[in-house]
């Protein structure tokens, strides 16, 4: 009779062998800015991927070999299809997967409470189709405890067992569960995705080992931590670090403006120090899924422990008020030139949250547009990545991007996102007034420019 320990080792070995031999099947749930790039990485390594999404339009687009994300070309989708990639909205196919990765949104409610409805709906849909020996990894950014409190609990309520032992002597039958935070950086064309180390925290040593084997097939380095909660907190620390520093420099920018000091000059000078300083830059607010959201995930969870995260909350408040600050600067600049805000024509350049990306998530530009509209300003926008802006979780604009034919018809041109496609010399030359929130006009000398 084979010993229990040998059985356990051989089963984990079987999982890793299937990864090595490229026989394993990988299921990725959520085919957005995180899930689709992962799909391409696995497909490039000849692993057969099935993508799951409730959006039938996305499923049909991908199965036709086309892309709906600007920085992912259709030829990359076609190549993945050639290596066996297929997309579906049929979650019964989860049973055929060796590993399942969940990459669904984790937004905030309007009251800054974590909205885990997408995670809960996903695990509810796939739990009935899970079976022993599978690896399930949550990649969606969330607060410490989510993996065990929601993922594990839901699986167990469905009558499945999750491996949560501390060594190979535990019973074998069960599902391996881990958390591995996504570390996507939209628009970053310098750092290859596979060069970004992958943090992994399993509910059990086998889950961690299986996840490492899986991710080592596409990433050059994996970093194992002691638990899912440690991995969840790692992602929050990374993004809260950025949020706090951005808040600090946004506050300093406002002070520097009052003192007549150029904050950009100060930052560039400080950045020459070879130690103890990392440059962060001010802007009209923060966008994307992570930085505007993650601090509030932690502050919400901290309440459970009776611990007020005052420093983090303050940073969040500073960053959130930046669109209002920009709106006031526009109104002030118009009024200074004798132009009433009511009825003024303002063109907003860039609605994406970040330069050269087709991503509107939490974009401060959308908030600025709504604030200006609240002052009865006649607002137009231009963005090469968004021909139209419709309805989202936090906005309802229904606007169409206007051409940059005649900038002189606008009382003010507001640079909200510094896309590289814009000709800033021409923008300044042809505009009556330019409010620059990104220092996009650096090096251009003109009394038309207000930098804020």
What are the pLDDT digits (tens) for 173-200?
899 999 999 998 877 778 889 999 999 9
What are the pLDDT digits (tens) for 358-376?
999 999 999 999 999 999 9
Q: Which domains does the chain have, with CATH numbers?
A: 4-226 (3.40.50.720), 261-451 (3.40.50.720)
- Residue 414's contacts (CB-CB under 8 Å, 6 or more residues apart) are 326, 330, 346, 347, 348, 349, 368, 434, 435, 437
Tokens matching residue 169: 């002597």
Average pLDDT of every residue of the chain? 93
Token pair 């607060």: residue: 143
- Residue 291's contacts (CB-CB under 8 Å, 6 or more residues apart) are 239, 242, 243, 246, 319
The pLDDT, as a whole number, for residue 10 is 54
The pLDDT, as a whole number, for residue 7 is 43
Catalytic residue annotation:
290
The pLDDT, as a whole number, for residue 185 is 84
Percentage, residues of the chain above pLDDT 90: 86
Whether this model's pTM surpasses 0.85: yes
When pLDDT is averaged across residues 297-318 and rounded to a whole number, the result is 94
**Could you tell me whether strands 86-88 and 434-436 are parallel, antiparallel, or unpaired per DSSP bridges?**
unpaired
Task: Give the dihedral sign, CA 336/342/343/346.
Answer: positive
What are the pLDDT digits (tens) for 237-283?
999 999 999 999 999 999 999 999 999 999 999 999 999 999 999 99
| Burial class for 433, CB neighbours closer than 10 Å (0-12, 13-18, 19+) | buried
Q: Comparing C-alpha atoms, which of 97, 179, 91 is closest to residue 138?
A: 179
């Amino acid at each position: 009779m084979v010993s229990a320990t040998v059985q356990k080792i051989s089963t984990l070995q079987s999982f890793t062998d299937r990864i090595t031999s490229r026989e394993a099947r990988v299921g990725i749930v959520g085919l957005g800015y995180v899930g689709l790039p992962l799909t391409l990485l696995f497909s490039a390594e000849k692993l057969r991927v099935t993508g799951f999404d409730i959006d039938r339009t996305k499923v049909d687009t991908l199965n036709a070999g086309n892309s709906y994300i600007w920085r992912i070309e259709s030829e990359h989708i076609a190549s993945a299809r050639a290596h066996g990639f297929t997309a579906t909205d049929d979650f019964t196919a989860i049973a055929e997967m060796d590993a399942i990765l969940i990459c669904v949104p984790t937004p905030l409610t309007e009251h800054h409470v974590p909205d885990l409805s997408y995670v809960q709906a996903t695990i509810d849909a796939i739990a009935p189709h899970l079976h022993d020996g599978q690896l399930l990894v949550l990649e969606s950014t969330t607060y410490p405890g989510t993996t065990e409190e929601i993922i594990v609990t839901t699986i167990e309520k469905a009558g499945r067992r999750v491996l949560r032992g501390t060594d190979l002597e535990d019973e074998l039958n069960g599902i391996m569960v881990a958390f591995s935070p996504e570390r996507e950086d939209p628009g970053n064309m310098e750092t290859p995705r596979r060069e970004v180390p992958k943090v992994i925290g399993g509910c059990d040593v086998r889950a961690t080992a299986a996840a490492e084997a899986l991710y080592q097939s596409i990433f050059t380095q994996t970093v194992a931590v002691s638990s899912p909660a440690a991995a969840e907190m790692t992602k929050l620390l990374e993004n809260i670090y950025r949020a706090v520093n951005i808040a600090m420099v946004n506050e300093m920018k406002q002070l520097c403006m009052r003192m007549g000091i150029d904050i950009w000059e100060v930052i560039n000078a400080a950045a020459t120090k070879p130690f103890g300083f990392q440059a962060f830059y001010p802007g009209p607010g923060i966008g994307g899924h992570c930085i505007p959201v993650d601090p509030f995930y932690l502050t919400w969870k901290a309440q459970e422990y009776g611990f007020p995260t005052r420093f983090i909350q303050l940073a969040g408040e500073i960053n959130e008020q930046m669109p209002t600050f920009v709106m006031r600067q526009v109104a002030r600049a118009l009024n200074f030139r004798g132009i009433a805000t009511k009825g003024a024509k303002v063109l907003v350049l860039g609605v994406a949250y970040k330069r050269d990306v087709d991503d509107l998530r939490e974009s401060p530009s959308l908030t600025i547009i709504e604030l200006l509209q609240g002052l009865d300003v006649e607002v137009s926008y231009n963005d090469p990545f968004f021909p139209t802006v419709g309805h989202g979780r936090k906005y309802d604009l229904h606007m169409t991007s206007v051409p940059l034919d005649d900038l002189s018809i606008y009382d003010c041109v507001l640079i909200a996102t510094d896309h590289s496609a814009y000709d800033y010399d021409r923008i300044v030359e042809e505009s009556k007034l330019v409010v620059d929130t990104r220092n996009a006009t650096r090096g251009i000398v003109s009394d038309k420019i207000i930098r804020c």
